[in-house]
Amino acid sequence: MEQRNERSELEGAGEGPADAKAAGVNDLAALTPEALREKVREAREDAQRNWQHFLHSAADLENYKKQAARDRQDAVERTRRQMLSLVLGVLDNLERAMTFGDPQEGPSKGLMDGLRMTHRQILAQLEAIGVRPIESVGRPFDPRLHEAVSVVPPKDAGTESGTIAGEVLKGYLLNDEVLRPAKVAVVGGQDRGEP
């Protein structure tokens, strides 16, 4: 009985791809010419559908690659801007320290000289990567570059209306795009003493 089971297993193992192909050829031989033409037409339609599916998939893959590259570039640029904003905050504090502690002589002169040197070095490094300050004072107000935080009467400023009288916070450009707008005081309004 064990020999019969082994024989049936060996016979079943003989049915592989070659046997299936031979069975398919025998099926095709039994078909009429019309049925054979119908099978060929169906195979051609199936091949055309597969080709169209392949073309769509290839186009989708290319679009995905382009979108992924754009997303990566946007993420890099966003991170770069965030890091530069952090550096600008430190630079602002350094400038404030230089403004409030400006002795020409005395024990803190060396400290102030070091702060000035550090300030120049940071500005030079920022300029090397495309960051430069926006020149504002005395220029006309430009809403693309400036953010007005206060208005100065023309009488107090001594200049015409629409001119920037002072800078509250320095603005910066990154490769000719605004990284941070300058916060400024603008000359505007009418003098109350005049009609």
Provide the CATH number for the domain around residue 186.
2.30.22.10
Q: Which residue has the tokens 């990154």?
A: 174
Distances in Å between the Cα of 27 and the Cα atoms of 16, 24, 112 are 17, 5, 97
* End position of a domain, from candidates 68, 84, 110: 68
Tokens standing for residue 80: 């770069």
Tens of pLDDT along the chain (195 residues) come to: 455 554 444 444 445 555 655 555 667 777 788 888 998 999 999 999 999 999 999 999 999 999 999 999 999 999 999 999 999 999 999 988 888 776 677 777 888 888 889 999 999 999 999 999 999 888 999 999 999 999 888 776 667 788 888 899 999 999 889 999 999 999 886 544 443
Alpha helical stretches, state H, 101-193: 109-128, 154-157
Assess if residue 77 is contained within a domain: no
Tokens standing for residue 6: 């082994």
* End position of a domain, from candidates 44, 68, 92: 68
pTM, 2 dp: 0.63
Assess if residue 16 is contained within a domain: yes
- The residue segments making up the domain with residue 47 are 2-68
* End position of a domain, from candidates 28, 43, 68: 68
Tokens standing for residue 138: 């005395």
